[in-house]
């Protein structure tokens, strides 16, 4: 097939438009009009394309979620093989897509990547850096004191008063195990026979909320402040407080609607989840309650031993980073006068220890700690994180950095907000999740360090929100991955620098009164000691 050639030699598509059929005149005019019509048609098509894409964005997302869930459901109905171990339980009704997250047997991403020699070499490089830190510390101690000093005074200080931590944790654990479960059983036994279901539910909810506030809300704070726990011990109590609150809420939130929907037959009692399933949930590495999860057939004790060793290795790694890279810079004995120059240099000096501490926290907790409990409990779904390091947008980074917490926030924050607003205020739902997450992060840091300095809150709730909308999922260029990493480097440097300065300011310039403003005003703003 050949294309006819126009009088001036330019080849055109055979496009018929109403305008071109009505135009008469010289051939040159027809060509000009045809070109103009083609450009107008292309612009119109582009506008229609953008409008259609905008209209179907939500529907397309729902269709993709549904297709993925159907695929997962069909997979979980067959025997799933994971690391040579077989599970033959199909996904229970409570794990269907319309009820939220679906659990599937799958390994952690780093466990798969460590099978590749090139990736495992990077892991070996980090081990080599740890050895260099150890040799550097030993060499400096030998030069300064004439002998090898193996003292971990900072480590022992940070984890002091563990006896208090143990009994406080035991109180929170037994309360979380018994009170929410018994409350659910009593409420469920009366719900279908009570004439005022709404009154019963509201009364039970208010009573449980009040007890939760005292035991899981105020009790941990009282222990941390009253017994003057050191930093690491504080973090253990506060993080366990948050974990028990999130787990108990998920248990009530998942089982309550099921009891309400399933009216028992006459003469039968309502069906409740077993206490053993709830006990398993309190220890398994997820924040979403299900009566059953994909399970492995046996425990790999070699994996347990290696993972435990990696946890202790990360602990000593963080110790050497603080001792060699942070303490010498921020301790007051350096006698460096404060100025803008020293502040800028301190921030950039803190970038290296900051990003190393970030990677250590990720590896030690999200990979090693959660996989350790997953292996001991034969919990098969090990997707605790995704490939956040490849993110080209902060929206994707927030979704993939900590999948365990993200699932809880998405399930009970974002989705419930959309349900209450009839899916009208997606931006408001996203912002509310960001604010709640930022407040909880800042609460944990404030209670852990023993002072209020909302650096994390401002970085998370303000800059994090801006970056989330500015660097969204449309950004796919590798350049934005560089921007994301650069932002993480700078943000970690700012946090390590400011929190370290405030830590020493709290020591050398203690509060003179207990007024509210005195407690919430950072001491480093007014402390006059010479850094």
Q: Is 149 helix (H, G, I), strand (E, B) or coil?
A: coil
Which residues, 6 or more positions from 140, have their beta carbon under 8 angstroms from its beta carbon?
A: none
CA-to-CA distance for 503 and 376, rounded, in angstroms?
A: 37
Residue 78 in tokens: 């067959």
Rounded to whole angstroms, what are the CA distances from 210 to 28, 75, 176, 380?
84, 43, 14, 36
Helix 394-401 to helix 478-508 angle (10° resolution) is: 60
Q: Is 5 helix (H, G, I), strand (E, B) or coil?
A: strand
| HSE (side-chain half, CA atoms, 13 Å) at 390 | 5
DSSP 64-100: HHHHHHHHHHHHHTSPEEETTEEE-PPPPGGGSGGGS
CA-to-CA distance for 415 and 426, rounded, in angstroms?
A: 9
Helix 197-212 to helix 162-191 angle (10° resolution) is: 180
Backbone angles phi, psi at 238, to 5 degrees: -70, -45
Closest to 80 in 3D by CA, of 109, 103, 61: 103
Rounded to whole angstroms, what are the CA distances from 21 to 25, 31, 45?
11, 12, 20
Other Cβ atoms closer than 10 A to 214: 11
In the block, tokens 């620098």 appear at: 497
CA-to-CA distance for 483 and 394, rounded, in angstroms?
A: 10
Other Cβ atoms closer than 10 A to 136: 13
Q: Which residues of 19-56 are buried (b: 16+ CB within 10 A; e: fewer)?
A: eeeeeeeeeeebeebbeebeeeeeeeeeeeeeeeeeee
Q: Are strands 85-87 and 80-82 parallel, antiparallel or unpaired?
A: antiparallel
Other Cβ atoms closer than 10 A to 350: 27
In the block, tokens 């409740």 appear at: 272
Tell me which residues are annotated as active site.
441
CA-to-CA distance for 216 and 188, rounded, in angstroms?
A: 23
DSSP 341-407: HHHHHHHHHTHHHHHHHHHHHIIIIIIIIHHHHHHHTTB-B--S---GGG-SSHHHHHHHH-HHHHH
Residue 490 in tokens: 């700078």
């Amino acid at each position: 097939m050949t294309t006819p050639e126009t009088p001036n030699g330019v080849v055109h598509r055979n496009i018929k438009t109403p305008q071109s059929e009505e135009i008469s005149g010289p051939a040159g005019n027809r060509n000009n009009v045809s070109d103009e019509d083609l450009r107008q048609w292309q612009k119109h098509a582009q506008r229609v394309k953008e409008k259609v894409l905008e209209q179907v964005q939500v529907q397309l997302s729902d269709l993709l979620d549904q297709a993925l869930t159907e695929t997962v459901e069909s997979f979980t109905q067959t025997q799933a093989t994971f690391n040579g171990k077989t599970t033959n339980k199909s996904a229970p009704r409570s794990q269907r897509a319309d009820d939220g997250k679906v659990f599937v047997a799958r390994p952690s991403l780093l466990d798969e990547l460590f099978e590749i020699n090139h990736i495992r070499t990077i892991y070996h490089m980090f081990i080599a850096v740890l050895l260099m830190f150890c040799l550097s510390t030993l060499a400096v101690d030998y030069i300064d004191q004439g002998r090898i000093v193996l003292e971990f005074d900072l480590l022992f200080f940070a984890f002091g008063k563990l006896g208090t931590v143990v009994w406080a944790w035991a109180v929170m654990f037994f309360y979380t195990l018994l009170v929410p479960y018994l409350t659910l059983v009593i409420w469920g036994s009366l719900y279908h026979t009570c004439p005022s279901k709404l009154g019963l539910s509201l009364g039970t909810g208010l009573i449980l909320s009040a007890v939760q506030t005292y035991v899981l809300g105020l009790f941990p704070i009282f222990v941390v402040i009253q017994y003057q726990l050191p930093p690491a011990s504080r973090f253990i109590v506060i993080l366990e407080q948050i974990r028990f609150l999130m787990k108990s809420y998920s248990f009530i939130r998942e089982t309550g609607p099921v009891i309400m929907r399933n009216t028992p037959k006459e003469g039968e009692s309502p069906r409740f989840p077993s206490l053993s399933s709830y006990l398993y949930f309190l220890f398994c590495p997820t924040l979403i309650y299900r009566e059953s999860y994909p399970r492995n057939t046996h425990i790999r004790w070699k994996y347990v031993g290696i993972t435990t060793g990696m946890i202790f290795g990360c602990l000593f790694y963080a110790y050497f980073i603080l001792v060699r890279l942070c303490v010498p810079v921020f301790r007051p004995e350096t006698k460096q006068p404060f100025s803008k120059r020293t502040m800028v240099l301190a921030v950039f000096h803190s970038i290296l220890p900051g990003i190393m501490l970030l990677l250590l926290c990720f590896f030690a907790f999200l990979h090693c700690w959660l996989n350790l409990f997953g292996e001991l409990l034969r919990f098969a779904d090990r997707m605790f994180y995704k490939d956040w390091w490849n993110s080209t947008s902060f929206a994707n980074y927030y979704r993939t950095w900590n999948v365990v917490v993200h699932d809880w926030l998405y399930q009970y924050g974002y989705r419930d907000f959309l349900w209450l607003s009839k899916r009208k205020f997606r931006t408001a739902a996203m912002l509310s999740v960001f604010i709640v997450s930022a407040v909880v992060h800042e609460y944990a840091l404030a209670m852990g360090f023993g002072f209020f300095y909302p650096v994390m809150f401002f970085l998370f709730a303000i800059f994090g929100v801006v970056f989330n909308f500015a660097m969204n999922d449309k950004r796919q260029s590798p350049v934005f991955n560089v921007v994301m990493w650069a932002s993480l480097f700078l943000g970690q440097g700012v946090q390590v620098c400011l929190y370290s300065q405030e830590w020493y300011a709290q020591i050398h310039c203690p509060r003179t009164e207990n007024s509210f403003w005195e407690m919430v005003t950072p001491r480093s703003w007014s402390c006059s000691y010479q850094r």
